[in-house]
């Protein structure tokens, strides 16, 4: 039913309440409303795009490094959902038990082929049982603590002081650009008798996918930065950022006289889980021969430093904790 004022009135079948609403009869009015709606939507979209363009993205580099006011922050490991390269225990960079013979510079290595059992039946795998034939254990009953991504002026001195307090020597896998920035800390590491390890120039997780020449230049540049601080420093090991090993990077590290070093215990301190969780994972996971992955740089590492207050007395009461052999000069 229509009223005299152009309003349509509908009555329900039961004679209940009425619904009213304006009836628009002019097609031109409909087109005008549609055009206005499109113009408003376009203006809103343009305003959003302009505002988004004025907010810069954080600077990043190909080496998975995000710069900040306090220095480089390294994305040390593959993402947690990168299941194709993680073992069930969470160690990234896993290859098949036998490395493919087609990979450059890689000989097939059966996992644990040189292994034996240690005290309490703990497994003692051969030292070259990791991804692409990398070393994962100390090769003896010694437990080795390793610290990656440094040196860092805030955290490395704290780590060195705690190691000194507990009379423990460790292995420091240093990044070339940090060694160049902080030669005094490289000298402090060497002066305390710790072992030095090459960890690439700027923590390039994709380094192993580059050409042999590019890999060689990166590792040589890093070793040169270390030796600029400590001229006679032995550099017996290389550790690939993120554990992203390839046959190429393993081959070049061997060519340059460095053993490719992986690990057996990873508390994932790079995810900043807190001191308690870091300490609990390390203490529960270590067996004779373990190589423990920790970090003294590349982000907020105070949790790692705090965890050492528990890790060091606990491990030294049960094992001999020592740096990996330094090798020849």
The CATH number covering residue 188 comes to: 3.20.20.370
Residue 288 falls within a domain, yes or no? yes
pTM of the model as a whole: 0.68
Note whether 286 and 154 are same-domain residues. yes
Q: What is the mean pLDDT of residues 205-229?
A: 98
Q: What is the pLDDT of residues 80-130, one digit of tens each?
A: 333 333 332 333 333 333 333 333 333 333 233 333 444 444 444 457 789
Note whether 15 and 129 are same-domain residues. no
One of 148, 218, 266, 269 is an active-site residue; which one? 148
Percent of the chain residues topping a pLDDT of 90: 60
**Nearest of 215, 224, 315, 202 to residue 260 by alpha carbon:** 215
Tell me: pLDDT of 63 over 70: no
Residue 174 falls within a domain, yes or no? yes
Note whether 25 and 127 are same-domain residues. no
Note whether 46 and 72 are same-domain residues. no
Note whether 296 and 208 are same-domain residues. yes
Asked if 317 and 290 touch (Cβ cutoff 8 Å), the reply is: no
199 flagged as catalytic: no
Note whether 106 and 243 are same-domain residues. yes
One of 73, 182, 295, 296 is an active-site residue; which one? 295
Note whether 11 and 47 are same-domain residues. yes
Q: Which domain holds residue 11?
A: 7-53
Residue 324 falls within a domain, yes or no? no
218 flagged as catalytic: no
Note whether 49 and 138 are same-domain residues. no
Strands (E), the chain: 7-11, 18-22, 65-66, 73-74, 116-117, 123-124, 144-148, 171-174, 195-198, 235-238, 259-260, 291-295
pLDDT at 115: 38
Percent of the chain residues topping a pLDDT of 70: 61
Note whether 32 and 83 are same-domain residues. no
| Long-range CB contacts for residues 65-69, cutoff 8 Å, separation at least 24 | 65/202, 65/203
> Hey, what are 322's tokens?
């020592």
Note whether 41 and 189 are same-domain residues. no
Total structural domains within the chain: 2
Note whether 84 and 175 are same-domain residues. yes
Note whether 219 and 268 are same-domain residues. yes
């Amino acid at each position: 039913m229509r009223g005299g004022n152009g309003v349509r009135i509908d009555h329900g079948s039961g004679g209940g309440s009425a619904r009213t609403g304006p009836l628009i009869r002019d097609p031109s009015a409909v087109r005008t409303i549609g055009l206005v709606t499109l113009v408003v939507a376009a203006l809103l979209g343009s305003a959003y795009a302009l505002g988004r363009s004025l907010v810069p993205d954080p600077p990043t580099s190909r080496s998975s490094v995000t710069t900040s006011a306090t220095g480089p922050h390294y994305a040390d490991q593959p993402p947690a959902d990168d299941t194709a390269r993680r073992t069930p225990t969470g160690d990234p960079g896993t290859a098949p038990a036998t490395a493919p013979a087609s990979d450059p510079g890689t000989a097939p290595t059966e996992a644990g082929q040189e292994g034996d059992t240690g005290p309490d039946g703990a497994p003692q795998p051969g030292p070259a049982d990791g991804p692409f034939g990398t070393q994962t254990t100390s090769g003896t009953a010694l437990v080795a603590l390793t610290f990656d991504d440094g040196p860092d002026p805030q955290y490395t001195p704290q780590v060195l002081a705690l190691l000194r307090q507990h009379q423990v020597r460790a292995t420091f896998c240093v990044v070339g650009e940090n060694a160049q920035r902080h030669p005094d800390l490289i000298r402090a590491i060497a002066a305390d008798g710790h072992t030095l390890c090459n960890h690439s120039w700027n923590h390039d997780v994709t380094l192993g996918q580059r050409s042999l020449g590019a890999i060689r230049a990166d590792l040589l540049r890093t070793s040169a930065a270390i030796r600029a601080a400590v001229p006679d420093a032995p550099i017996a090991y290389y550790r690939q950022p993120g554990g992203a090993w390839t046959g190429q990077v393993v081959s070049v590290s061997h060519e340059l006289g460095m053993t490719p070093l992986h690990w057996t215990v990873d508390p994932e301190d790079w995810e900043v889980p807190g001191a308690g969780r870091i300490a609990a994972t390390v203490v529960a996971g270590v067996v004779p021969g373990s190589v423990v992955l920790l970090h003294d740089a590349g982000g907020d590492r105070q949790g790692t430093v705090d965890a050492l207050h528990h890790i060091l007395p606990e491990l030294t009461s049960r094992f001999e904790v020592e740096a990996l052999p330094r090798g020849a000069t």
